Amino acid sequence: MVFGATNNFCIDSTEVPRVAYANWLAKSPSTAGQDTWCAFNQDFAPNSTSGDCTTAQFLDPLAPQNCVDWCDAFAYCKAAGRRLCGQIGGPGAVTQFNVTKADFSQWVNACSDGGTRAHPYGAFQAGKCNDQTAGVAAPAKVPYKSGGCPGGVSGLYDMSGNVKEWVDSCTSSSESAQCFLLGGSYASSTAATLQCTAASSASRNANNLADVGFRCCVDVP
């Protein structure tokens, strides 16, 4: 992990890789005790039957863990003694109104080095990270193993491109609430969709997103 720009939290230097997630699953973590908004979640196993979730190129053990829903990501971070990145000064979620603000969002704070950069590495560069901005012929790109694109605070990687990332920010406490994703992915094709503040959303229970992963944060006393 590395310090965020404010130095009161740390963030995983890379997206959680498949091998780390698999090691957690091997311990047979219990689904009991999840928060009420994740009561629907009966297992933490990644989706292995939908679309690109079954594609061989996506299954490198060192590639980011994708095809997990928001609750899976939340549970993994909690079990690791961390938390899904959310509000600075938490623990807790960052509101949907502040999710892209460097003064409030741990993820954006680290990616933008305290709000000083639109992209984690500085001025936009086409093809700098694992994305489609350099123009890529079929077959489309896939997630690379973590650590391919430095930028943000020192020691941080892949905050732009590779996979979008779940963060602790949702529109409500329902199973189908929209939860936010930050950063771009290997499928992003414009500078705007690869900025630190590029936000999109998906249903809390969506586990069929091959271009979505996550990383964890921890508060520093």
Q: Which pair of tokens denotes residue 149?
A: 């694109």
DSSP H or E stretch at residue 76: helix 70-79
**Residue 1: closest CA among 110, 94, 78:** 110
**Residue 187: closest CA among 9, 52, 27, 45:** 52
Spatial separation of the C-alpha atoms in residues 97 and 85, rounded to whole Å: 15
Q: How far is CA 41 from CA 14, 16, 36, 46, 129, in A?
A: 26, 20, 10, 12, 33
Q: What is the pTM of this model?
A: 0.94
Determine the longest span between alpha carbons in the chain, in angstroms: 48
Per-residue pLDDT of the chain (221 residues; tens, 9 = 90+): 999 999 899 999 999 999 999 999 999 999 999 999 999 999 999 998 888 888 777 778 899 999 999 999 999 999 999 999 999 998 899 999 999 999 999 999 999 999 999 999 999 999 889 998 876 554 457 788 777 899 999 999 999 999 999 999 999 999 889 999 999 999 998 999 999 999 999 999 999 999 999 999 999 98
